[in-house]
Chain A
């Protein structure tokens, strides 16, 4: 019986080939747009996480502190709930780092009689505190401490990017929802036309004892097939353009972008897209069959 259902589903698709082709095209375009937003969001989100992990608070230490006092200060800071890790940078290391940032201008620093740079503590926050509130909380704890000469921090730009990402997410979800509904309606309408085209056959099948399941199954298979094929094709097309983007845009800009990695959808996300196609195909058929196939 299974083979029969698939043959009939194929007949359904063939019978109104142009309408079914347009439906498939609509599904493909909708899923390309959805997939594009997903790729942008996933990469931007990855970038945000990377930037967040770089959020640090630098505490500059006075020259008067002894090694023992620095050790005690480090231990105290490490005991705070916001703090994930702490690194010490001596005056010498700070100077070396500065020299490293001034290639070819080392001479500038040679004229200085003594190292003016202070030793510092690089404080790394736990993931839940990598935002302006977490940073402020940590800074408040350290402010006024005589063992700390100065503080350097900044998370506002991360906050702004995070807000931008939320906007992208809302736009993506809104547009995705609209596309989902319109694709669903297009599928439902196509299945309705398939049903009308086969009205006589359906009537004859009923007359000789076909069950509702027997009559409906090929329509469901056709709808689900279109959904899966459309979403699958969208992923392939998206992947093609992603590779093209890497080759034509990303690779030439790599020296500027540095280590910034761009990824395509993961296996799970790709599967979710194809499953989305299946669901939309099923729901579209369900509505058309429920409304127009009276058995």
Chain B
């Protein structure tokens, strides 16, 4: 599903954002990508959805070698992924329904089907009754749910979530994680980036630990100890 081989990424202001990352995420897995702020989690996710290009190394997502994609091929890669952005990227003047339906509109299809699937995704994240609300009328947890609904509405095989529980309280975080677990149970592969070291304990899954752009741990179903 996802494979990175000796991937490095350097920026002018951060010459070692990622260093020699090699990892593999199999289909159907739920993986936590943990590490402190600046560890390279967001950069790693951006490489997966082609928002950044690696300085070196190979990256494969859904059988596609991402760095070799031409600019016009990138939309197709992203349409086959569900992405929950750190800053959510919700359209502020669009309602919850319109934000979620946008991902389906991009895919194309019958209006009737788009409405049905968007309503279903909104129901799945527990926001029925909020369809007509604008993002400005929602709480932080609800906004996260909208972003998740938009990410899963197309039933993508892989969902990438960047700090989806960073701005919410523990209770809301637990609910969001349970929601991700439900999504994972439906067969969707999940990579969830977080700097909260305690959260994986709520829902033990495979964990990848990043620190200063390096891969520290890549283990199954255990909480990482000794990490500040």
Answer yes or no: B12 CB below 8 A from chain A CBs: no
Contact with B along A200-244 (1 / 0, CB 8 A): 110111111111101000000000000000000000000000000
Known: A3-B111, A212-B72. Contact between A207 and B106, CB under 8 A?
no
Chain A residues with CB under 8 A of B92: 200
In the bound assembly, the distance between CA atoms of A201 and B85 in angstroms comes to 14
In the bound assembly, the distance between CA atoms of A201 and B80 in angstroms comes to 20
In the bound assembly, the distance between CA atoms of A167 and B105 in angstroms comes to 54
Known: A4-B105, A209-B77. Contact between A204 and B91, CB under 8 A?
yes
Known: A4-B105, A201-B91. Contact between A207 and B111, CB under 8 A?
no
Answer yes or no: B145 CB below 8 A from chain A CBs: no
Chain B residues with CB under 8 A of A209: 74-81, 103, 106
Answer yes or no: B51 CB below 8 A from chain A CBs: yes
Whether B89 lies near A204 (C-beta < 8 A) is yes
Answer yes or no: B53 CB below 8 A from chain A CBs: no
8 Å CB interface, B1-57 against A: 51
Answer yes or no: B61 CB below 8 A from chain A CBs: no
Whether A207 lies near B85 (C-beta < 8 A) is yes
Whether B111 lies near A208 (C-beta < 8 A) is no
Chain B residues with CB under 8 A of A204: 89-91
In the bound assembly, the distance between CA atoms of A271 and B219 in angstroms comes to 70
Whether B78 lies near A207 (C-beta < 8 A) is yes
In the bound assembly, the distance between CA atoms of A204 and B78 in angstroms comes to 12
Whether B106 lies near A214 (C-beta < 8 A) is yes
Chain B residues with CB under 8 A of A211: 72, 75, 106
Closest chain A CB from B40 CB (angstroms): 20
Chain A residues with CB under 8 A of B83: 207-208
Residues of A within 8 A of B (CB): 1, 3-4, 200-201, 203-212, 214
Listed by A's residue number, 8 A-B pairs whose Cβ atoms lie within 8 Å are A3-B111, A204-B89, A204-B90, A208-B106, A209-B79, A211-B72, A211-B75, A214-B106
